[in-house]
Amino acid sequence: MKILITLLSIIAGLIILYFGLAFILIQIRRPKFNNKGYTKLEKKLLDIFTSMFDPDLADKIKMQIEYFENKRKWRQYWEKSMSIELYGDKKMSPKFKYPRQDESKIATIRFKVNEEKYSIDFNSYDGRIWGWKIRPNPKLIQKTDNIEVTGKKINNDPNEKVLITIEKTEFKIIPNFGGVIGEIAKVKPIKVAFNPLIPQQIEIFKRKIDSVLPNGYIKIIEQTEGLEFNDFRISGISEIQRTGLDDGDYFHLVEFDYGIITIKENDKNGEIYFCHFSDGSIDKLGTDFDKILKERTA
């Protein structure tokens, strides 16, 4: 009996240790908010970035950069890159903002440090700079401003008036959807579904996605601008979010509590991925959206 109790105690201890270590690893990987200012490298790149625009726009962007310098931000070093998102702590004054309100990549700068090649992408949302991503990981060069610029490009003009004014409306009575949604709805009840956008609006949002949307997903959004089940939701095309991971940016198509079905930016092969929230790992799933969705929601 004593041996059995001892064995059970050892097993219980190992289980506690395992989950404790798993929790610690998740916390280590989880991005943390901070109020620290920009690094020496980032300040140099921000100066180059603002110089790419006309004086009036450059002044607005400088005011935004100054506003966010010592306010709440999200910074994460990955194995091959670094991401930063600027949140602040209160609503920004409209006088600081530019006309473009959609989520978009507004500029790219390519540069060298000690002959090593790097690139930085600046992202925009709601009329202001949202953050940037540097590839490869710049942790070892953050204290330098001695860089050689090898290329600059404005991807989307911040002065272009692009609004995000889509107002989603719920179906009063959830219809009998066709295709894969109809099949899933037979075993999993739909909580909320939204009326689809008109075809012209769908085309506008399709052009904003720098990747190939799966045919199965397109068939869904032609019927509904997103829908929710008890344990997952399918994003409408007007609300597709972008997440920056170590090897690139991914667009959310289906969201679960534990991860997301996504497509990757600039992937023209129609590949579909699953990104796990717990450890940031990514599974390549293939190109059959309907099959993948049924397997993940079974």
Contact assessment for residue 139 and residue 173, using Cβ atoms and an 8 Å cutoff: no
Q: What pLDDT score does 29 carry?
A: 40
**CA distances from residue 111 to 44, 88, 149, 153, 277 in whole angstroms, order as listed:** 11, 28, 4, 12, 32
Q: What residue ranges do the domains of the chain occupy?
A: 32-154, 179-297
- The CATH code for residues 179-297 is 3.40.1580.10
Residue 14: its pLDDT value, please?
47
- What six digits make up the tokens of 168? 């989603």
Tell me, what's the pLDDT at 148? 97
pLDDT of residue 153: 95
* pLDDT for res 284: 93
> Which regions in the chain score pLDDT beneath 70?
1-33, 90, 163-165
- pLDDT in the model for residue 164: 62
Write out the two tokens for 170: 């719920």
Give the C-alpha separation, 132 to 108, whole Å.
9
Phi, psi of 57 (to 5 degrees): -70, -40
Alpha-carbon span 238 to 247, nearest angstrom: 25
What pLDDT does 165 receive? 60
Alpha helices, DSSP H, located in 195-288 = 199-208, 215-221
Tokens describing residue 269: 């092969």
pTM of the model as a whole? 0.57
Structure confidence at residue 104 (pLDDT): 84
- pLDDT of the residue at 18: 45
Residue in the block written with tokens 């001695």 = 146
Q: What are phi and psi of 218, to 5 degrees?
A: -60, -40
pLDDT in tens, 35-92: 889 999 999 999 999 999 999 999 999 999 999 998 888 888 888 899 898 888 767 7
> Alpha-carbon distance 4 to 16, whole Å?
18
